[in-house]
Amino acid sequence: MTLSAIEVNHLKQAPAVEGVLPAILSRWSARSFADREVSPADLSKVFEAARWAASSFNEQPWRFLVGRRGSSTYQKILSTLSSHNQSWAAAAPVLMLGAASTKFSHNGVDNRNALYDLGAAAQLLTLQAAALGLTSHQMAGYDQAAARQLLEIPESYALGAVIALGYQGESSALSQQELLALEIAPRTRKPLSEFVLSAWGSPAKLD
């Protein structure tokens, strides 16, 4: 079954919950990207959103290596992706890799929350992207050692996810049936009772 981009986007919307930010409900991870560039203004906005993420001691340990299609940074990031991810991410106009400093700058002590803080920044980035009508897809499937070497990332930085960013494309552009099935599958989430707890194994009462 092939659905249009509009139909897929409608299918992927989370059920409306009163008071929840629309960008949270509309954000999903597309694998098909349109042949359309992200404007410099919109790219700046997604990083401005990431800039205001909370972090331990306001360290802001995150760094994002950003490659636009045709740049050497883009090619380096793309080359480190698993073949599975390369098969669809090569159509995205922007690829980026997040990293986080594992030491606090003010005292050199280990920052155990560095990757947590990077994740918070990445989440704000993806929500801002959704609010702008962009789609993003975060990937763990890449060669970290190769990425560190190619992008000359210091050992004192932990690596996060690679993020593909762009505009949603037509699902018919995905030639692999496995990718197409994932693209048009409805989104599911665990109920709150499975992860909001009053004691271990006991759901919290929220009403």
Per-residue model confidence (pLDDT) at position 2: 77
**What are the DSSP E strand ranges found in the chain?**
62-68, 94-101, 135-139, 157-166, 197-199, 202-203
1 — pLDDT class (breaks 50, 70, 90): low
Q: Residue 138: is its pLDDT beyond 90? A: yes
Smallest CA-to-CA distance from 123 within 140, 98, 146 is with: 98
pLDDT in tens, 30-66: 999 999 999 999 999 999 999 999 999 999 999 999 9
**Residue 3 and residue 9: Cα distance in Å, rounded?**
10
**Residue 172 and residue 194: Cα distance in Å, rounded?**
36
Q: Which two tokens stand for residue 67?
A: 């490659």
Helix, coil or strand: residue 119: helix
Question: Can you list the domains of the chain with their CATH numbers?
Answer: 5-203 (3.40.109.10)
Q: What are the distances in angstroms from CA 67 to CA 4, 72, 92, 130, 134?
A: 28, 7, 10, 19, 16
pTM equals 0.95
Per-residue model confidence (pLDDT) at position 16: 92
Mean pLDDT value of segment 158-173: 97
Roughly what angle, to the nearest 10 degrees, separates helices 5-12 and 177-184? 60
Q: What are the distances in angstroms from CA 159 to CA 62, 119, 138?
A: 10, 11, 13
- Residues constituting the chain: 207
Mean pLDDT value of segment 155-172: 97
**Residue 143 and residue 141: Cα distance in Å, rounded?**
7
